[in-house]
Amino acid sequence: MQDKQPKVAILLPVYNGERTLRATLESLLAQTFGDFELLIGIDGTKDGSKGIAESFQDPRIRIIEHPKNLGLANNVNALLAAVSPGIDLIAMAEQDDVYVPERLQWQVEVMQKQSDVGLVSGIAEFQGNGAPVLFPGLLVYGQQFPQGEALFRYLYEHQLKVVNTCILFRKSVHEKAGLNFRNTYGNFNVDWDYILRFSLVSGVYGIPKVLVRMNRRRKHHSVTTNKQGQHKASRQLLKDFRTEFPNLISQKDYQAALKQHRKIELGHRSKLGIVAFSLFYAIIYRDFYFIEYIFNRVKKYKLNHDKN
């Protein structure tokens, strides 16, 4: 450990992450704000992740190994419990992602200047099979997150728009509100559940700059590749939060959120599935969007086909 008390703790849960972990660690250790400890939770991994972490030999790194897989939420909770006393700023990281050098510096500056902000995030560059995409749109186009109940409803209806892989939050707010990371949906929606609840207890700020590049181009072990399980868990979350927060989420809110989820789900179906489910949803929701979606996908496919 360092001679002086670090100001930030970075939590990095790892499960079979050997294909991308080295790049993630290199980006974290190269931060312009270097006053941190990095807690790496090796969660029952069966590959070379632990060896990669050990190879860096950086005094800021602490490896916490769980011989038996705990799952994402329990791994993060264990890392949070192991944070050195006196550290209040907690940064989340993911094994697939690469962070810009100024990420922590920009986030710590926000926390120092705005005492009412309990959680700060930013813009992500999503690198999939096509051209990189920046999100969330609010920050990309110069807007800021709504606050309190308005943000809660926004994140509920539009799904998680606060980039979880680069959040930094105050541990003091987390503890005072009695929050924790929940495994209600297995390894799915751990972040969505958490940030929804956090939005009701403290201010949330978005830095209008790219903080992270999310690597989803290579095949690797990730729950994000199980789209069917993800969609099922998301529908259950919408239902559960409607039941838990009836004073904040109306039946109209629930239906709007469910329709939004169906739109997202369409993008991951087969060509035949897109047509069949678009027609089905158009009838259910009486929304021309789903018919228009079919035509747009056909038009895009034809355009790509003509180019080739």
Instruction: Using the predicted structure, report yes or no on whether residue 221 has a pLDDT greater than 50.
Output: no
User: Which distant-in-sequence residues (6+ apart) come within 8 Å of 209 by Cβ?
Assistant: 100, 102, 106, 122, 123
- CA–CA distance, 148 with 208 (Å, rounded to integer): 20
Question: Which of 4-8, 44-48, 100-104 holds the top average pLDDT?
Answer: 100-104
8 A C-beta contact, residue 279 and residue 295? no
Task: Give tens-digit pLDDT for 69-82.
Answer: 999 999 999 999 99
Query: For 186, which DSSP code?
Result: T
Give strand pairing partners of 62.
Answer: 39
- CA–CA distance, 192 with 157 (Å, rounded to integer): 12
Rounded to the nearest 10°, the torsion over CA 247, 252, 253, 254 is: 100
In this prediction, residue 230 carries a pLDDT of 84
8 A C-beta contact, residue 114 and residue 202? no
Give strand pairing partners of 213.
Answer: 98, 125
Query: For 84, which DSSP code?
Result: P
From the list 78, 53, 55, the residue with the least C-alpha distance to 68 is: 78
In this prediction, residue 222 carries a pLDDT of 47
In this prediction, residue 20 carries a pLDDT of 95
Instruction: Using the predicted structure, report yes or no on whether residue 274 has a pLDDT greater than 90.
Output: no
- The predicted model scores a pTM of 0.86
Q: How confident is the model at residue 220 (pLDDT cuts 50, 70, 90)?
A: very low
Q: How confident is the model at residue 137 (pLDDT cuts 50, 70, 90)?
A: very high
